[in-house]
Amino acid sequence: MAELLTETEALAQCLGRVFRKEPTTFGADEAKLACGVLTDLFKADKVDADTFGRVNARIGNHSAMRQWAVKHSFIPSADAKDDALTVQTRKVMSELDAQEDARLEDATKPGKGK
């Protein structure tokens, strides 16, 4: 049996394939590509099950991977796109702001608060 890759070596193999394509973010599509590489490494007995699990978990944490990629200039920060969680969180915040604005407007109408 060939020598197994370390977690760092395996993750670098996965991410190297992703960032060669110069993506503008790290999201589901990039994770799918990276996981495909990881699966190939596992099938070729280059990583064991424990390493597979740890690397897979790291790839699946899109937010952390994206932050790492921006920090190390794999993704230019100006080009980094918002992920689905960011979009949804901003939507919720906007809705909450609108509700608060409506509540304050209603509370400050003449005849209120007496």
Which parts of the chain have pLDDT scores under 70? Answer: 1, 79-80, 85, 112-114
Angstrom distances, CA of residue 13 to CA of 16, 18, 44: 5, 9, 13
Task: Please indicate, yes or no, if residue 103 is contained in any of the structural domains.
Answer: no
Q: What is the residue range of 62's domain?
A: 7-80
Let me know if residue 104 belongs to a domain. Answer: no
> What does the radius of gyration of the chain's CA atoms come to, in whole angstroms?
22
Instruction: With respect to residue 36, please indicate whether it lies within any of the assigned structural domains.
Output: yes
Q: Is residue 85 part of a domain?
A: no
pTM: 0.69
Give the total number of structural domains in the chain. 1
> What is the spatial distance between Cα 30 and Cα 24, in angstroms, rounded to a whole number?
10
Looking at residue 77, what is its pLDDT? 82
41 inside domain: yes
Whether 100 is covered by a domain: the verdict is no
User: Given phi > 0 = left and psi -120 to 50 = alpha, else beta, which region is 96?
Assistant: alpha
In a domain, 35, yes or no: yes
